[in-house]
Amino acid sequence: MRNENLDDLNKKLLKSLEEDSRRSLKELAAELNIKTSTIYHRLHRLKESKILEGFSIIVNPDEMNLSIFNFLTVSLVQTVKSLDRIFIESFAQYLAKEFEEILFVSISRTKVYLISCHTTPESSEEFLEKIKSIPYVDNVDLIQFDKIIKGHKLFTFNEAFFNEGKSIVEPFELKLEKSLPPGKFDITDTVEENEEDEENEDDEE
């Protein structure tokens, strides 16, 4: 769906901010040949429409001794079919929140994909073991690379890069929202209940 707030002027404004987000409103107005007040209101609308979520910094991983990068494909244990999508999304959000070493998280219909960065082989291995030890993880495939050619925008400064292994990771709990009852949800209990229902149906037959 096309966002009505993303017109030609806003595209130029975003491009200018992408090149240097430190520019003042006055500098942006001069570059785009429009009033400073227009820049102010445009930025406000871009934030309200969630096209512009914020401003950040880009760090150079090479200069921060971040030399180990992991691309992980995480396969999860089979859950109740009707809850698969909710389960995978909730689990991906859990990983993104609990593991500060993770730079990127995405999902497909059946898997979660991660990119993490580390300063030492030991911290990388410890991170991998933590992921594997989560009860809902069935398998983890690892591809390791040692240099970023394009993609430095993924990197923001994080103290966790230099204090790896010291953070406490909370256990994963699936929380359902919207059309399903709110609160905590135990996948194991539901699987067992479904199996009991199937057994009862067999007995009735």
Percent of the chain with pLDDT over 70: 64
192, containing H or E segment: helix 187-204
- Write down the residue that tokens 């609990």 correspond to: 98
Q: Is the whole model's pTM more than 0.95, yes or no?
A: no
> pLDDT per residue over 141-167, tens digit each?
999 987 777 776 666 655 555 555 444
Cβ atoms of 79 and 130 within 8 Å: the answer is no
> pLDDT per residue over 51-101, tens digit each?
888 877 666 666 666 778 899 999 988 765 656 788 889 999 999 999 988
Cβ atoms of 117 and 61 within 8 Å: the answer is yes
Q: What is the pLDDT of residue 119?
A: 83
Is the per-residue pLDDT at 33 higher than 50? yes
For residue 112, give both structure tokens: 């979660």
Percent of the chain with pLDDT over 90: 31
Question: What fold characterizes domain 8-48?
Answer: Arc Repressor Mutant, subunit A (1.10.10)
Cβ-proximal residues to 118 (8 Å cutoff; 6+ apart), any chain: 66, 67, 68, 69, 70, 101, 124, 127, 161, 164
**Residue 68 Cα to chain centre, angstroms:** 19
The angle formed by the CA atoms of residues 1, 53 and 73, to the nearest 5 degrees, is: 80
- Closest listed residue to residue 107, CA positions, set 132, 72, 142: 72
- Closest listed residue to residue 125, CA positions, set 138, 139, 106, 144: 144
Q: Assess whether the region 8-48 and the region 61-176 belong to the same CATH fold.
A: no
- Closest listed residue to residue 177, CA positions, set 89, 98, 117: 89
Q: What is the pLDDT of residue 182?
A: 37
Domain range annotation of the chain: 8-48, 61-176
Cβ-proximal residues to 93 (8 Å cutoff; 6+ apart), any chain: 105
Instruction: Give the least confident one: 111-115, 135-139, 161-165, 171-175.
Output: 161-165
Q: What is the pLDDT of residue 59?
A: 66
For residue 126, give both structure tokens: 């410890």
Region 41-56: mean pLDDT is 86
3-state secondary structure at position 87: helix
Cβ atoms of 117 and 155 within 8 Å: the answer is yes
Q: Which amino acid is at 17?
A: L
Q: What is the pLDDT of residue 81?
A: 60
Q: Which amino acid is at 109?
A: R
Cα gap 90→175, rounded to integer Å = 7
Question: What fold characterizes domain 61-176?
Answer: Alpha-Beta Plaits (3.30.70)
Region 40-58: mean pLDDT is 84
Cα gap 166→131, rounded to integer Å = 15
Instruction: Give the least confident one: 17-31, 125-139, 166-180.
Output: 166-180
Is the per-residue pLDDT at 191 higher than 70? no
Q: Residue 19's pLDDT band (boundaries 50, 70, 90)? A: confident
